[in-house]
Amino acid sequence: MHWNLQRRSRLVYATLVVLWLVVLGWQAFEHAIVRAANRERLINRGRDITSTVGVVLRSQRIFGLVLMKHRLEAALTDLIRPGELDSIVVLNADGDPVVGAGEPLETPIETIIGPGMVWDAQRVTILNLVDLGTSATETNARPAIVLSEDMLPNPFGSSTNRGGLRRRDGDRGDGDGPSFERPPRPPDELNPEEGSRERPRRGGRFSFRRPPWMSDEEFREVMQKQGLHSFLIGLSTADMRSANARDLWMRCVIVLLATMAAGVSVLAWRNLARSSDLQIRLVKAGEMNAHLKEMNLAAAGLAHETRNPLNLIRGLAQLISKQTEAPADVRERSRAIVDEADRVTAQLNEFINYSRPREVRRTNVNVTRLIGEVARALAIDAEEKKVAIDVPQEDAAIEADDPLLRQVIFNLVLNAVQAVGEGGRIEVRLCPADDGRLSLEVRDDGPGVPPGQRLEIFKPYVTSHQQGTGLGLAVVQQIVAAHGWEIECDASEPKGAVFRIRHIKPAAPVKRA
């Protein structure tokens, strides 16, 4: 029964460990999903911002694909949100910065151009191509350029500039940039090929891909250095890291609650197992008490009907054995009758002792002293077979009934003396158990007990000795059960048997008298 309970306990503990590992793996998997979702959400946020930057670039165009630097910087600065959007940098085709806003990028631009996205501890940098809403052919032919103030014509100089343009009356130079109109030319001076470079009039203005005050060579040079090709945005990962940390804490709390639940389940199972064990012991004790009551009645009747006639027979046989005038063979047979009557009387006394109900009166017993007294009482029997009895030397106190415990130790040691051969060895010792209690062991190096008989030997009238009554170990089992202990028979290495009494509650040490 004890081993079955241990196996069930191991199965329950293994199941709880597996469930805890499942919860741990589940929370780790869910946290990985949340981290991936937060990362994807931040990337999507970056894509939305790049679309916004494209709208800003398109809104700042003049002369087709020309953007003013100071206006573009102001518009980009308005997009900066500390802790969310930290920096915006617009690059040319060579990867050099043209205009930017916000904090400077700490990551080298060369390392970003290849993968298009770089993550570090504080931010993520995303690379995207410039989108000005033009066709691919036009954008590839002439990308948008950014012009600074020093690249504009002087409106306060001559009325005309390098491009042959003059400032229109009423224009202030702000708004959508400077507006210019071409001086009127005679119709016959118009060249069809030259006219092809002009775009349709829109309210007196012309829209050029090349600013009119620049030559083609100057425009190509500016387009190479100031032409917009791509831009970088630096997004802070603070919100993402904060969300990941909150989710991680939540997962840790769930795992902690699962651990606490597993611990509570272990304690509940241990209490349930102990309660079941106690209930089984109580049922066994109740059955044994009922059986003992019946045996007590039978033993009382047997003692009344048998003991007196047996004593009478023994007395008559003893008188005949002492008569000198009786023949020698008669006296010899009379002594045999006396010996047989003594043997039957001893069996009868053991039977009555077994059938008597056990009332345990617990006190603090110095079990070391008790073992020594039993060893001295059996010294004559041990010397006849040259058997050595080893007893513990350190004092140990337990809670038990002193006379009943003495009878248990006496029966176990006597059983061992009868089992070992000449020159054998017997060891009595106390061993600490895992539950804080003690175990009393009686070991011998005799022939041992076969595995199939290790449970049967505690039953009445089961013995392996020719002169044994078969009630010694039954009485031991009865007293052990009355104390709430357990006794088992096992093999002793390298040979012999060991009788082990478990669940003995220790008490305060008692000094040896």
Q: Is the pLDDT of residue 275 over 80?
A: yes
Tokens of 183: 């001086």
> Higher pLDDT residue, 266 or 358?
266
Residue 281: per-residue pLDDT: 80
Task: Looking at the structure, give the CATH architecture of the domain made up of residues 360-513.
Answer: 2-Layer Sandwich (3.30)
Please report which confidence band the pLDDT of residue 249 belongs to, taking 50, 70 and 90 as the band edges.
Answer: very high
**Rounded Cα distance, 492 and 409, in Å:** 18
Residue 24: per-residue pLDDT: 92
Place of tokens 């006296």: 331
Name the residue ranges covered by the structural domains of the chain.
Answer: 61-72+85-183+200-236, 360-513
Half-sphere exposure of 180 (CA within 13 A, CB side): 24
| Each residue's pLDDT tens digit, 297-354 | 776 666 667 767 877 887 888 888 888 787 888 888 888 888 888 777 777 777 766 6
504-508-513 Cα angle (round to 5): 105
How many C-beta atoms surround the C-beta of residue 265 within 10 A?
Answer: 16
CB contact at 8 A, 475 and 411: yes
Stated pTM of the model: 0.42
Average pLDDT over residues 344-366: 76
Average pLDDT over residues 65-70: 72
**Rounded Cα distance, 126 and 120, in Å:** 12
**Rounded Cα distance, 375 and 398, in Å:** 19
Tokens of 80: 């900066």
Please report which confidence band the pLDDT of residue 184 belongs to, taking 50, 70 and 90 as the band edges.
Answer: very low
Q: Give helix 472-483 / helix 238-322 axis angle, nearest 10°.
A: 140
Please report which confidence band the pLDDT of residue 254 belongs to, taking 50, 70 and 90 as the band edges.
Answer: very high
CB contact at 8 A, 143 and 218: no
| Each residue's pLDDT tens digit, 463-493 | 766 555 677 888 888 889 888 899 998 887 7
Least confident of 43-47, 242-246, 469-473: 469-473
How far is the first Cα of the chain from the last one, in angstroms, to the nearest whole number?
40
**Rounded Cα distance, 49 and 43, in Å:** 10
Residue 206: per-residue pLDDT: 38
Q: Rg for the chain (alpha carbons), in Å?
A: 54
Percent of the chain with pLDDT over 90: 11
Q: Is the pLDDT of residue 168 over 80?
A: no
Tokens of 227: 């032409």
Closest CA to 353 of 399, 414, 292: 292
| Each residue's pLDDT tens digit, 113-145 | 667 778 877 888 887 777 665 443 444 445 666
Average pLDDT over residues 184-201: 41
Helices (H), 361-459: 367-377, 379-384, 402-419
Average pLDDT over residues 271-279: 81
Least confident of 87-91, 300-304, 428-432, 439-443: 300-304
Amino acid (one-letter) located at 273 = A
Average pLDDT over residues 27-41: 91
